[in-house]
């Protein structure tokens, strides 16, 4: 009976550990549409090392129509994959924000938002392609 209880406990624990094991590290293509200024294909490089408060979090860099943006972070909070990338502003702070549904190491569709001086400047749809796609 004890052996059966141990197997039952392990069968409950194993799926939870497997979910945490799915890594988001790698290169992810993002296609932005329905935006006034940001339409195009980007490549998001993700390092999923848990370094920022959440088990799935870390640093990112982004290349795309605006050039190379090497300073950014991501966090997976619940099922929300949230990316913030520092962007050069003329006289104000600026950045790009991407938010999409994510689960089991896959990222779905979401939104793109360009923030300038603390306010939304441009926005659109963001479609994440398969990991390793750029």
Reported as a single tens digit per residue, the pLDDT across 56-90 is 999 999 999 878 999 999 999 999 999 999 998 87
| Cα R_g (the chain), whole angstroms | 18
> Considering the domain boundaries, does residue 17 fall inside one?
no
- Total number of domains in the chain: 1
Domain containing 75 equals: 23-128
* 9 against 62, higher pLDDT: 62
Domain for residue 18, yes or no? no
Q: Is the distance from CB of 123 to CB of 35 less than 8 angstroms? A: yes
Contact assessment for residue 108 and residue 98, using Cβ atoms and an 8 Å cutoff: no
Over 90: is that where the pLDDT of 122 sits? yes
The answer as to whether 10 is a domain residue is no
Instruction: Identify whether the C-beta of residue 129 lies closer than 8 Å to the C-beta of residue 29.
Output: yes
Q: Is residue 122 part of a domain?
A: yes
**Is 6 a domain residue?**
no
**Rounded average pLDDT over 80-104:** 93
pLDDT at 126: 98
Choose between 62 and 15: higher pLDDT. 62
Query: pLDDT at position 89, please?
Result: 80
- Whether residue 104 lies inside any domain: the answer is yes
Diameter of the chain measured on Cα atoms:
70
CB 128 within 8 A of CB 109: yes
Given pLDDT bands bounded at 50, 70 and 90, which one contains residue 21?
Answer: low
Task: Please state, rounded to an integer, the average pLDDT across all residues of the chain.
Answer: 87
């Amino acid at each position: 009976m004890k052996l059966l209880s141990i197997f039952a406990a392990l069968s409950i624990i194993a799926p939870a550990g497997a979910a945490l094991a799915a890594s988001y590290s790698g290169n992810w293509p993002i296609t932005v549409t329905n935006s006034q200024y940001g339409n195009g294909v980007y490549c998001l490089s993700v390092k999923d090392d848990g370094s920022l408060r959440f088990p799935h979090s870390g640093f990112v860099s982004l290349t795309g129509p605006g050039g190379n943006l090497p300073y950014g972070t991501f966090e997976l909070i619940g099922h929300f994959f949230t990316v913030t990338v520092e962007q050069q502003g003329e006289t104000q702070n600026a950045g790009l924000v991407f938010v999409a549904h994510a689960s089991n190491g896959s990222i779905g569709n979401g939104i793109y938002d360009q923030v300038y001086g603390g306010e939304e400047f441009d926005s659109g749809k963001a479609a994440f392609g398969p990991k390793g796609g750029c």
